Amino acid sequence: MEENKQEIIDEKDEAQNEESEQTVVEETDELEQLRQEKEEINNRLLRLQADYDNFRRRTQKEKEADRKYRSQSLVEELIPALDNFERALQVEVDGDAAKNFADGMKMVYDQFKAALEKEGVEEIPAKGEEFDPHMHQAIMQVEDENYESNIVIEELQKGYRLKDRVIRPSMVKVNQ
């Protein structure tokens, strides 16, 4: 009888051990599944943070570019007026009244040019420089032994840039 009791107890212990092993296996599987879910959520969070940082940097760069080139359309409109000022100042004048008028025009021209320079507008150097297709527009090519090959001989129309952006390329005559 005692042996029977012992067998029954052993069987109960075995059943309990099997149940607890099965419970441990189930809990381990559940724990592993939760770890994977946590890892996936963490990866998604990291990707979202990276996307947000990229978006923030991109919008910041766009804002900086807008601020940097905010006056571009105005400059494009004023450059022809600057050209006309320069042409008007090249005219020879006779008489005191005409010279005083020309001096006044020169002062307005200088003030106009200084205002553009303050905004970051600068002339593109051309004559005597090596031809750069990004800065110069070749209108003519000539052969002149006094200049090296691919050197700008004459500037036909001034070019301008706003900070580092070309607004209008210089129209030039280039040596072959």
92 & 17 share domain:
no
Split at pLDDT 50, 70, 90, the class of 14 is low
Question: Mean pLDDT over residues 97-109, rounded?
Answer: 91
Split at pLDDT 50, 70, 90, the class of 2 is low
Q: Which residue has the higher pLDDT, 89 or 16?
A: 89
Split at pLDDT 50, 70, 90, the class of 93 is confident
| Residue 169: Cβ within 10 Å count | 20
Question: How many domains does the structure of the chain reveal?
Answer: 2
Q: What is the dihedral of CA 74, 80, 86, 89, to 10 degrees?
A: -100
76 & 123 share domain:
yes
Of 69, 87, 110, the last residue of a domain is 69
60 & 75 share domain:
no
92 & 10 share domain:
no
Determine which of 20-29, 33-42, 47-56, 131-140 has the lowest per-residue pLDDT on average: 20-29
Q: Structural domain of residue 30, as residue ranges?
A: 1-69
Of 69, 84, 111, the last residue of a domain is 69
Angle at 81 between CA 83 and CA 139, to 5 degrees: 35
